[in-house]
Structure 1
Amino acid sequence: MPLKLIRRNGTGNYYLRGNVAGSNIYTSTGTSDHQAAENIRIRTEAQILERASLGRRATVTFAEAALNYMNTGGETRFLAPILKHFGRDTRLAEIDNAAVNQAAAKLYAGAKPATINRQLITPISAILTMAAEDGLCEWRKLRRRRVSDKKTRWLTPEEFETLAAKLDAHLVPIIGFMIGTGARVRETLTLQTSTLYLAQGQALLTDTKNGAPRMVRLPGRAVEMIETRELPEMGTAFTTNKGLPYAIKDNTGGQIRRGFNNARDAAELGPDVTPHTIRHTWATWHYAQNRDFGALLDLGGWSKADVANIYRKIAPDDLAERLLAHGWDYRTAGRLDALQQSPLRIVR
């Protein structure tokens, strides 16, 4: 029998009930509006009949495949705008390079190729791959955007000292923490005083880019920079020049950009130096002294090795010694005075 609209006790949301093509249906429409519920009834019934005649593979939707992906532990971080764009009725078979290009134009107009790859193409590809493994669609490969291989900007020890000398007082601990741990701006500004262990030269980051908490290690010189300003007893460890927590909006460094740029310009470093350059610098310095790629991946919070691999190739041979000359020692965590007697050892 066709689907009917019913209400429990005559009030609330409408429910669909009935049997279509051998399938017993009893589900909420999610709306108390009769016309909207009727539209859902018609669409649902048509989809069931179509699937019965053509098979699930021909009619499964992208939204259904995405739900299956999420229910099995798939990464959900960038899915919300994608699902909203494709809606509930776009078929999985319709998701191809043309559909992705249209989504990119609407969702990420003006975005960098790497952003489109990471936040659009990678999530869609993951859903398609799982769907293909489940026999819901053919295997297909989406075309990724070409990412420029321009030089990664990092600071030499000498450049960093010049920058540090120009920082406003409230930025010294923030940049000190970032250069000591490789933490991103958001990860730094959301750090809680309760998880900053200066005596041990460690900190636990909980609001990370990939959602997984990670422990980071601070060299003594970074601890010294952090201790130039009294930290709050509770709440976020790093605050504005007025002692207030930073408003967290994104991970682009916007919260500290003005002050950082003022110091950068005073240091005559150029516009290619941004807050995120500090993360590039940490990675370059850390690998130069440790030659431990596994530790670099773990401490930096990268899930894919290819992202961090560039830092293995860009440092000059004398960087490790130059860092020591400026008081930077990434080989062990802890305070500077405990490390000054430790000879430099590089494993190649």
Structure 2
Amino acid sequence: MPLKIYRRGDVWHYRGTVAGRRLRGSTGTGDKAIAQRIAAEREATAWKGNLDGPEAILTFAQAATLYSAAGKADYRTLKVMDYWKDMLVRDINEGLVRQAALTLYPTAKGATRNRQVIVPTQAIINHAAELGKCRKLTVKRFAVPRVEKTPITWAWVQAFMAAAPPHLGALACFMFLTGARVSEALAVRWEDVNFEERRVKIRQTKLYGEERMAHLPQPLIVAIANCKRDRDNVFRYVSRGAADKSWRSVVRRIGLPMLSAHACRHGFATAMLHAGVDPVTTAKRGGWKNVQHVFKTYGHAMEDETVTDRLIGTPVTQRPDKSKKRV
């Protein structure tokens, strides 16, 4: 039967069955004429979805709600929701998404536009597509110049740990030995750490709610065990800014090369690849979805020319530095 309105308190509600689907809800108004119009619109929308398919009525706000209900939303979800609002998903195309990135971040670099607008918008729409609500959307990313990244080494981390407070040293050790991002490391709680199984749960901030389990090497177990347990989060810092301030202070004090905390993640990938671990395993252990990105970004060439001895099983030995004179 068509939707009919009825009064409950000061507000009019609607109920009825449209195309075999029972609908009911509040119009949010005490004005009967407006309530009748709202109910008529709800009924028309329901018929349109039934006759023309869910894509005919799916708005971005509804797609974002589905995305949030699946536990995949993060801070970027609200930003793009506020931009697209109730625009029909079927009307959102590649050109409009790229223009949205330019509008929201007019002075930002391509990497920021990709990360803050294109990735979340596409993820929300494609999640709805997986549910059969619309078609998938593909958006070309903005070009990002390749920058040679300086990775932190294990020797750098050890020197840092020797001079830093226990929780800050443990943070550096954690990121280098698990490949965790700074935000992921700061989100680790004591309940996520299993010393017996030598594992830790990492919530992957860039992968929309996904989690992974990471192994805890012995030095990392010792470092974490030495941290105070007076807070829920293992590494104590509540923000990346607070951690970064302490980090830079220690680096300046002991005269290490000024490398950011995020360089530990670079160091993890580079060290894994140089240790002979394949890019697929490196990507999985470090929480990267794109294996090609790992290979391109972190596949620094080894300077030792004798590395080819590994092809025949001969241990690699460094050649003497010819620039030094013999005594």
Contact 1:179 1:278 in 2 (8 A): yes
Same amino acid, percent of matched pairs: 24
1:74/1:94 CA distance change after superposition, 3 Å: farther
Asked if 1:258 is matched to 2:245, the reply is yes
In 2: Cα distance, 1:311 partner to 1:58 partner: 38
Letter in 2 for 1:204: V
Query: CA shift at 1:144, angstroms?
Result: 1.8
Structure number with greater CO (CA < 8 Å, separation at least 6) is 1
1:151/1:33 CA distance change after superposition, 3 Å: farther
Asked if 1:289 is matched to 2:287, the reply is no
In 1: Cα distance, 2:261 partner to 2:298 partner: 21
Aligned to 1:301: 287
How do residues 1-348 of structure 1 correspond to structure 2 at under 5 angstroms? 4-7=4-7, 10-11=8-9, 14-17=12-15, 26-29=23-26, 31-34=28-31, 37=35, 40-41=38-39, 43-44=41-42, 47=45, 51=48, 55-56=52-53, 59-63=56-60, 66=63, 70=67, 75-77=72-74, 78-88=76-86, 90-105=87-102, 107-108=104-105, 110-126=107-123, 141-198=138-195, 202-209=198-205, 210=207, 211-226=209-224, 229-232=226-229, 235-239=232-236, 246-247=237-238, 253-266=240-253, 267=255, 269-270=257-258, 273-310=259-296, 313-316=299-302
Aligned to 2:321: none
- Map Cα deviations across residues 288-335 of structure 1 (whole Å, 9 max, x no partner): 22423333222212223233223552152559x9xxxxxxxxxxxxxx
1:81/1:223 CA distance change after superposition, 3 Å: same
In 1: Cα distance, 2:6 partner to 2:212 partner: 51
1:286/1:12 CA distance change after superposition, 3 Å: farther
Contact 1:284 1:311 in 2 (8 A): no
Contact 2:167 2:224 in 1 (8 A): no
Letter in 1 for 2:172: I
TM-score w.r.t. length of structure 1:
0.67
In 1: Cα distance, 2:159 partner to 2:200 partner: 29
Contact 2:161 2:170 in 1 (8 A): no
Q: Structure 2: which 5+ runs fail to align?
A: 308-313, 317-327
1:15/1:117 CA distance change after superposition, 3 Å: same
1:40/1:115 CA distance change after superposition, 3 Å: farther
- Map Cα deviations across residues 57-93 of structure 1 (whole Å, 9 max, x no partner): 88433338726974996954454433343223x1234
Query: CA shift at 1:198, angstroms?
Result: 4.8
Aligned to 1:329: none
Contact 1:3 1:19 in 2 (8 A): yes
Letter in 2 for 1:216: A
RMSD of the alignment, in Å? 4.4
In 1: Cα distance, 2:285 partner to 2:247 partner: 24
In 2: Cα distance, 1:87 partner to 1:17 partner: 26
Q: Number of aligned residue pairs: give it.
A: 304
1:40/1:309 CA distance change after superposition, 3 Å: farther
1:290/1:33 CA distance change after superposition, 3 Å: farther
**Matched position secondary structure for 2:172:** helix
Query: CA shift at 1:155, angstroms?
Result: 2.1
Letter in 2 for 1:269: P
Letter in 2 for 1:307: H
In 2: Cα distance, 1:225 partner to 1:139 partner: 45
Letter in 1 for 2:247: F
**Matched position secondary structure for 1:153:** coil
Aligned to 2:319: none
In 2: Cα distance, 1:74 partner to 1:230 partner: 31
Letter in 1 for 2:146: D
Contact 1:16 1:25 in 2 (8 A): no
Letter in 2 for 1:215: M
Contact 1:13 1:28 in 2 (8 A): no
Contact 2:10 2:30 in 1 (8 A): no
Contact 1:179 1:281 in 2 (8 A): yes
In 1: Cα distance, 2:38 partner to 2:263 partner: 51
Aligned to 2:311: none
1:149/1:207 CA distance change after superposition, 3 Å: same
Contact 1:13 1:29 in 2 (8 A): yes
1:28/1:138 CA distance change after superposition, 3 Å: closer
Q: Structure 1: which 5+ runs fail to align?
A: 240-245, 322-343
State which drifts further: 210-219 or 69-78: 69-78
Contact 2:150 2:263 in 1 (8 A): yes
